[in-house]
A and B are shown apart, each in its own frame.
Chain A
């Protein structure tokens, strides 16, 4: 299947990318239906998403996918036709089916074995909604190209039995046995029809196969030859087709150009049908027999979304959290798919531009030009432009968190089913944009936290009712931009953190001394300790003790922070604050032993200049700084990095008070603070040497490279190793 240079491979890959988008639209639509905000268009979107996946899957021979999508689609079609009312129970199955469909898409992509059992269970559940209509309805599609007449009869009878719904699909059978019908089909391709590889001649030829067709070409839109664009269709056709097939079959020929053309299928006056005894709902159709199709609610052509997006890509301001307007989940945006490598390259080039610009500024400033000279004001403009370009480029990598949140709604569905709780996930701020890498690396921690919220956060139904809460638990997932960072919150309306129990557990597990007296927030923080788990029983979902400490580590790896607040009886909120991008960092530029280094600014709590007597020795090589009434361990950065022997006179040195991951503080001894600025993060090639205490590098305005410190690494490598200079045993530079 995966042969190199397979021309189909690329098309196949793009099918799977499109499927992702369709699945997203499907989820959106179902969500709207659940919220009761669905209209006809929503149901159409849901139907079309499944239908398009089926179509694409068929083209690649993905039988399992087609099989499932087809039956799913059949049920959705019933909804679309108004024959099936969507109840909560049906929606639940629809959601499950959507999840399963997305599994099947993934499985098909990876060529993994199909989960047939699961498929059958869901299909049975789906078919249950079809009721009596099901055999007929599913038979329709299966044999459609086999015996159209017989099929129409079935449909007609079913529709009559339903009490004559005003459904045009059901109408044609009334003409059963009538003379061949005459349709007038006008077909006007739009400018982008050729882009998708469609060919009008093929469509017309297919039409001809349905019956006697008379094709008239309208060339009035044809421009003079010198303005002719061969890649844009200019012609339109009127086909008079004498046939005995259904209109839907004619429409199906144009299925693949749906939305790429103007299509009008008109039935010419048919006396036979007019004379038939009308059903109660029929009269308007009789009088409109020549224009029946224009009102057809189920005609797929009419349901097509605006294919030519008029909306342009919003600027960076669109990053502001704005929940998508109701009922507009499919508002088409003009998008371009770009290889991630190209974006990476652009990001790198812009990084260079920023550095170059800084170098230029620096040398011009030193050249003694008047600040009012043209060169200097031009430079200022250049600086502004560079910054704008950098921001815009960073925005390219930004993606709305929506896809991530959708995944979480699935997690909630599965988790709540597993622990038999009724849980509703409410998401806000899905349009909030975050760097793509951040989104990808957030999926696991978020999954874990959502499961925790469902499993531990929310009480059982009985407990909720006893506490006077609604039986259905609620988990809020929100994203918002706040002062240059993204804040993601997971809030449940459960019982809140049971602090006495947490404290007892931590003591039992020996994580803290038995006589500890901790504040509420300190107790809450115990949750993040490795090996901590509060669940009384270990469930399948969570509670294996590899919980929140892993979550915290992965959030911190993204340069983020996680905090928790909890109110007894009202719920728990976890709040994750993340940088907008992993490519830039707010740094403090410092000098140590004549080397320039950068420390992430968010770690620095306080800066101090040492006075005599501030530093106390605990034992040789181990010093502490007095900060107000406390003592903070002092690390001589220059010595820890091996740049120079440890200092013995600290007076006048600068100390940075930094926050460690475990909430303790440490003091870093440095020579000088030079600057505070945004730096572009450059990865270090660690293939043949990994420097301890160094996280990455950046390039300063003078073109020199400055290393970005990983303070926790410095401290952890500085403490246990006796060979390092802090201990005073070795005053020289370590080998």
Chain B
């Protein structure tokens, strides 16, 4: 262990996606909204739910489960849209339910083991254990930007 980099404290917002737990750095989260019907965009890839009205701006919404290639599930009242900001763009991520906010240090994160393939691999950049549950930490930039590969 070197002391060059002291462990940084980070806070993660955890949420459910197809019975799995994922999380995002809370600093990139702008707000959480209840599900409203999105206006579909013509010929959009499946994970693009469409656009919604976020207080006067047009917010694109992604179905995160479909984006990560997880099983489609029923829509229900607990579905929420997490509004995230990456660089200058705002995006809505549709998730099953928001669970918790957890505080930990960067020491608690461990890199995911190399998996053979799968779309979710590139977008999960760390794993952590909370109360014996594994939580995946999403790489927001990869989630939002690398849409070409999934859109095909």
- Which residues of A line the B interface, CB within 8 A? 348-349, 351-352, 355, 595, 640-643, 682-685, 687-689, 691-694, 697, 699, 703-707, 734
Contact = CB atoms under 8 A, between A and B. Distances in A.
Interface string B18-55: 00000000000000000001111111110010111101
Q: Which of the listed residues B41, B52, B90, B144 has the most CB atoms from chain A within 10 Å of its own CB? A: B41
Q: What 8 A-B pairs are tightest by C-beta distance, nearest first? A: A352-B56, A641-B42, A691-B41, A705-B39, A682-B58, A697-B58, A688-B147, A642-B43
SS class of chain B's interface: helix, strand, loop or mixed?
mixed
From A643, A683, A706, A707, name the one whose CB has the most chain B CB atoms within 10 angstroms. A707
Nearest to B47: A689
Given A595-B39, A707-B39, A691 B58 contact: no
Contact of A692 (B39, B43, B55, B56): B43
Interface of B: 37-45, 48, 50-53, 55-58, 60, 89-90, 144-145, 147, 151
A697 to B, nearest CB: 5
B44 to A, nearest CB: 6
Given A699-B56, A707-B41, 16 more contacts: A348-B57, A352-B56, A595-B39, A640-B42, A641-B43, A643-B40, A682-B57, A687-B89, A688-B60, A688-B147, A689-B147, A693-B42, A697-B51, A704-B53, A705-B38, A705-B50
Contacts of B51: 684, 697, 705, 707
Contacts of B40: 595, 643
A195 B58 CA distance: 42
A395 to B, nearest CB: 20
Nearest to A640: B42
B91 to A, nearest CB: 8
A386 to B, nearest CB: 13
Contact of A352 (B48, B55, B144): B55
Contacts of B57: 348, 682
A351 B57 CA distance: 9
B52 A689 contact: no
B30 to A, nearest CB: 14
Contacts of A691: 41-44
17 contacts: A348-B56, A348-B57, A349-B56, A355-B53, A595-B39, A595-B40, A640-B42, A641-B42, A682-B57, A684-B51, A685-B89, A688-B145, A689-B41, A689-B151, A699-B53, A704-B39, A705-B50
A688 B56 contact: no
Nearest to B45: A689
Contact of B60 (A643, A689, A706, A734): A689
A209 to B, nearest CB: 55
B80 to A, nearest CB: 18
Nearest to A350: B56
B42 A694 contact: yes
Nearest to B87: A687
Contacts of B58: 682-685, 697, 699, 705
Contacts of A351: 56
A703 B53 contact: yes
Nearest to B145: A688
Contact of B52 (A352, A355, A642, A705): A705
Scoring A355, A683, A684, A688 by chain B CB atoms within 10 A of each residue's CB, the highest score goes to A688
Nearest to A717: B43
Contacts of A684: 51, 58, 60
Contact of B44 (A682, A689, A703): A689
A688 B42 contact: no
Contacts of A699: 53, 56, 58
Contacts of A705: 38-39, 50-53, 58
A355 B42 contact: no
Contacts of B147: 688-689
